[in-house]
Structure 1
Amino acid sequence: MRLKKCLSLVLMSLFCLGAALPAAAADLVKVPTAWLPGQEAFPIWYAKQQGWDKAAGIDLQIYAFDSGADALRAFPAKSWIFGGLGAVPAMLGALRYNMSVIGLGNDEAMANAVMVRADSPILKTKGYNKEYPNIYGSPESVRGKTILCTRVTSADYALHLWLNALGLKESDIVLKNLEQAPAMTAFDYNIGDAVVLWAPFTFVGDKRGWKTVGTPKDLGKHLPIVLVANTAYATQYPDVTTNFLALYLRGVKWLQTAPREEVVKQFQKFYLDWAGQDYSADLINLNFDTYEFFNLEAQKKLFSTSAGPSQVQQWQSELAEFFASVGLITEKNLKEIQGSSYVTSKYIDMVTPQAVTKQ
């Protein structure tokens, strides 16, 4: 994975934003994209495997990053123009780099989890906060504990939601910032008292006997993976932006309608070839019980502003307000992204049903 990531970064240097601009009509438009090695990347990977991108006149370049924070660091250099990020890095991308949210990957509210070992004292208390009866822990059992977490990500949000429900703050724990794979390895070697993971790492944790003490779903929150764009590029090239969304949604339609056996087979190939992970069919099937993908019809509804702020804008605004309340962004930052106007329905509204049902 590390070697593949290094090679990807070398290749990315060949594709600055200028190289991604549409050339002559006969040429393919190079479109560098950024993804985490999670299932939300599958639809675009499958579109590339099937050659749908070239049929649409573009050449997708698919680059892997360990986390949304990792991808954000590459964004100012114009190494990629579209991608799939967690709601948290997307919010920060809008705040710092004029990034737009143009679509949805999936809802990972059940897939981000604070996990502990089976003998953890944190498991002795369930329902400390009566509003959230399914979470474990108490102020006494959590205060002072060392927790492994990937900062500026959906995992970070999951952790702070859980702490907040227990009446605690980040300063009440010892927080160690690690990417997902190193965090899992460290926890395996008895480093830390809890670890915050997203799928498929959560599924591996389950197999190792680790227990979930809280998820955003348990805390009544949605936590989408969002599709993002370089705002200036999307504005200048709306057709390319719409084609990107159509390719992604065509992949979503395939995985929602194809025989489950074939989908599982392709997911196994995806994780092995692209993410370097060899997962069993049982583990892949857990993906479908945990994540929710959104088809074109659902996305148009969730992005609709016909009755006021869209549902996606509300989700992002709620997230920003929470991060301001715990001090991870300033009140000034909050005002700058108030209303989540960086979430736009412009491009999803341009995608037609015919574009995602091509055979």
Structure 2
Amino acid sequence: MKLKKLIAFFLAGAMALSLAACGGNDNSSSAAGGTSETGNTATESTDTGDLPTLKVAVMPFLNSLPIEYMVQNKLDEANGFKIETVYFSNGGAMNEALAADQWEVGTLSAAAVNSLAIYGAYCIADIGHSEGGLYTLVSPDSPIAQATGTNPSYPDVLGSPETVKGAVIATSTGTISHLNINKWLEVLGLTPDDVQIVSMDFPAAYQALKTGNCDVAALNPPTSFTAESEGYVVTSSLSSLNVPQYDSIIVSNKAYTERRDVLVKYVKAFFQACDALQADQDMAAQMLLDWYTANGSETTLEACATEIETRPFVTSEEAKTITIGESVEITGEFWVSQQLLEESRFPEIAKHVDDSIVKEALGF
């Protein structure tokens, strides 16, 4: 019954969003480069002369903030290229657009598994710690919140087979939050077949939790931090589950093959942005708040500051110490174990990792 109510809840929300989109709101475009809706790019008004243009995918999350910083501070032009942003709501939508060449370079975490293994894209740099703020949450009065100590190896993980089995879990499937769900279930001795996972965007999933239309919501920042601040109980996180994750720069197969020189310039500019954001976290928090607001997410400056602190960007110096692609391979192995990726596809991940571009960009 709860699953039927959740589906009805989701459909009603989708209809409302559709009607709102028909209203012609002039403020609906993405803040970084003027995109109006998924897969569409707006015409750039700036005269960039003969600079080569890169189609850069952005999402309404922290991992796109360095791109916004590059655009605002014209680091793209300073490094000899021009960014044209293409907006997507999540990593799954980005992957679906790869086959149509709708973007050339973007930033992904768990969804990068399919980018590499199925769509032939390449991972060329790890740019952000993405473990922080990846939560599964329940209401304080949920039996799940009361179940402690099920797996002594994970003392901060809540829930038990009895309290979680049969639960309706809302999340954006195919994302890193989906990975969090699966790892949480594994730690509790369950599988995805023991629950009902319903796909919707993160704000809708949180609304479903608040209205009692689901038992658990698996959320990304900033929604996860908002939910926690409003009293919802964190039952697992990638941190408490000891699952390392990075956001990575992913490039389409075509861009990797044909546009290496521009990609080197892009990676150099990207790490200039990361260095600046890490050096001034107050500035970064305000900028993140503006980014979320421009892209329709409600949050607070305090929540943004927490996210900046708990999910730091990789600096140009730290990048020299990271084994690129290790994180996405860990995720890929987990996808295979959960039958989310065909085992025959797994070797493609390692074949589509290249650290030579970041080495050339940063000089190491």
**Residue in structure 2 matching 1:12, options 41, 58, 64:** 41
Alpha-carbon separation, structure 1, partners of 2:176 and 2:39:
27
Question: Quick one: structure 1 residues 126 and 10, their matched pair in 2 at CA, closer, same or farther if it must change by over 3 Å?
Answer: closer
* Local SS of the residue matching 1:4: coil
Q: CA deviation at 1:85?
A: 1.1
Instruction: Identify the residue that residue 168 of structure 1 maps to in structure 2.
Output: 190
Instruction: Identify the residue that residue 8 of structure 2 maps to in structure 1.
Output: none
Alpha-carbon separation, structure 1, partners of 2:269 and 2:206:
33
Indicate if the aligned counterparts of 1:113 and 1:215 stay in contact, CA closer than 8 A.
yes
Alpha-carbon separation, structure 1, partners of 2:254 and 2:168:
42
Q: Name the amino acid aligned to 2:288.
A: F
Alignment of 1:25-104 (within 5 A): 27-86=50-109, 88-104=110-126
Q: CA deviation at 1:318?
A: 2.0
Instruction: Identify the residue that residue 271 of structure 1 maps to in structure 2.
Output: 292
Alignment of 1:270-349 (within 5 A): 270-273=291-294, 275-277=295-297, 279-302=299-322, 310=323, 312-337=324-349, 340-349=350-359
* Local SS of the residue matching 1:31: strand
Partner deviation per Cα, 1:45-91 (whole Å, 9 max, x = no partner): 011011121222222112221110011111111110000112x2111
Percent of residue pairs bearing the same amino acid type: 21
Q: CA deviation at 1:286?
A: 0.8
Partner deviation per Cα, 1:13-38 (whole Å, 9 max, x = no partner): 989xxxxxxxxx95121211112211
Identify unmatched segments of 5+ residues in structure 2.
1-16, 22-27
* Local SS of the residue matching 2:29: helix
* Local SS of the residue matching 1:293: coil
The answer on 1:221 being equivalent to 2:250 is no
Of stretches 171-180 and 326-335 in structure 1, the one that deviates more from structure 2 is 326-335
**Residue in structure 2 matching 1:233, options 255, 261, 277:** 255
Q: Name the amino acid aligned to 1:217.
A: S
* Local SS of the residue matching 1:292: coil
Q: Name the amino acid aligned to 2:73.
A: Q
The answer on 1:201 being equivalent to 2:223 is yes
- TM-score normalized with structure 1 length: 0.86
Q: CA deviation at 1:270?
A: 2.6
Alpha-carbon separation, structure 2, partners of 1:319 and 1:164:
14
Aligned length: 332
Alpha-carbon separation, structure 2, partners of 1:263 and 1:13:
26
Q: CA deviation at 1:193?
A: 0.3
Alignment of 1:96-245 (within 5 A): 96-245=118-267
* Local SS of the residue matching 1:134: coil
Alpha-carbon separation, structure 1, partners of 2:315 and 2:233:
32
Q: Name the amino acid aligned to 1:277.
A: S
Q: Name the amino acid aligned to 2:333.
A: E
Q: CA deviation at 1:252?
A: 0.8
Q: Name the amino acid aligned to 1:62.
A: T
Alpha-carbon separation, structure 2, partners of 1:262 and 1:322:
36
Q: CA deviation at 1:130?
A: 1.3
Partner deviation per Cα, 1:202-223 (whole Å, 9 max, x = no partner): 1111122111100111111112
* Local SS of the residue matching 1:213: strand
Partner deviation per Cα, 1:161-219 (whole Å, 9 max, x = no partner): 00000110111011111121221222222110000001111111112211110011111
Please tell me the root mean square deviation across aligned C-alpha atoms, in Å.
Answer: 2.3
- TM-score normalized with structure 2 length: 0.85
Q: CA deviation at 1:236?
A: 2.2
Indicate if the aligned counterparts of 1:118 and 1:210 stay in contact, CA closer than 8 A.
yes
Identify unmatched segments of 5+ residues in structure 1.
16-24, 303-309, 355-359
Of stretches 129-138 and 260-269 in structure 1, the one that deviates more from structure 2 is 260-269
Q: Name the amino acid aligned to 1:7.
A: S
Indicate if the aligned counterparts of 2:170 and 2:214 stay in contact, CA closer than 8 A.
yes
Indicate if the aligned counterparts of 1:12 and 1:79 stay in contact, CA closer than 8 A.
no
Q: Name the amino acid aligned to 1:145.
A: A
Question: Quick one: structure 1 residues 138 and 60, their matched pair in 2 at CA, closer, same or farther if it must change by over 3 Å?
Answer: same
Alpha-carbon separation, structure 2, partners of 1:181 and 1:61:
27
Q: CA deviation at 1:287?
A: 1.2
* Local SS of the residue matching 1:212: strand
Alpha-carbon separation, structure 2, partners of 1:198 and 1:213:
14
Q: CA deviation at 1:353?
A: 6.5
